Homo-oligomer: A and B are copies of this chain.
């Protein structure tokens, strides 16, 4: 393996794993530093170095960092759960959203009921207050 590197630092994690020369301007180097070998290992295992390379090349530089982060997230999810990957997380979150929407609907219905009850309570209160209005004072026997 030729170690005639154009950069002065050690090869990036991608070039190290792929056993290739880490040339100046290597597309992987900014996102896969040598001290984080697992980061590249997982995207390489799941997407393949060639696909990651292609995807990064097709994106403008300012979007590559986010693309790498999302690919690393997806790859780690697929390594943990080879059947569902991060689609498992989507499914759990969709279920959570449905549960919360149901709980919120129940809570909002309870609020409506409580407000209606409070309204009818005030009506009852006013009705009872009227029926208990002070009786007319008996005419004074002295007059």
| Interface residues of A, Cβ cutoff 8 Å to B | 45-48, 50-51, 55, 58-59, 63, 66-67, 69-71, 73-74, 78, 82-90, 93-94, 96-97, 100-101, 103-104, 107-108, 110-111, 114-115, 117-118, 121-122, 125, 128-129, 132, 134-135, 138, 141
In angstroms, how far is the closest chain B Cβ from the Cβ of A92?
A: 9
Residue in B50, B96, B129 whose beta carbon sits within 8 Å of that of A97 in the complex: B96
Copies of this chain present in the complex amount to: 2
Q: Which of chain B's residues have a CB closer than 8 A to the CB of A69?
A: 87
Contact A82 B96 (CB under 8 A): no
Contact B51 A67 (CB under 8 A): no
Contact A83 B70 (CB under 8 A): yes
Known contacts A51-B46, A107-B104, A107-B108; is A85 also within 8 Å of B71 by CB? yes
Q: List 17 A-B contacts (CB under 8 A).
A: A45-B51, A47-B47, A67-B84, A70-B85, A70-B87, A70-B88, A71-B85, A74-B85, A90-B90, A90-B93, A93-B94, A93-B97, A96-B97, A110-B111, A111-B114, A118-B118, A134-B135
Contact B97 A74 (CB under 8 A): no
Closest B residue to A50 by beta carbon equals: B48
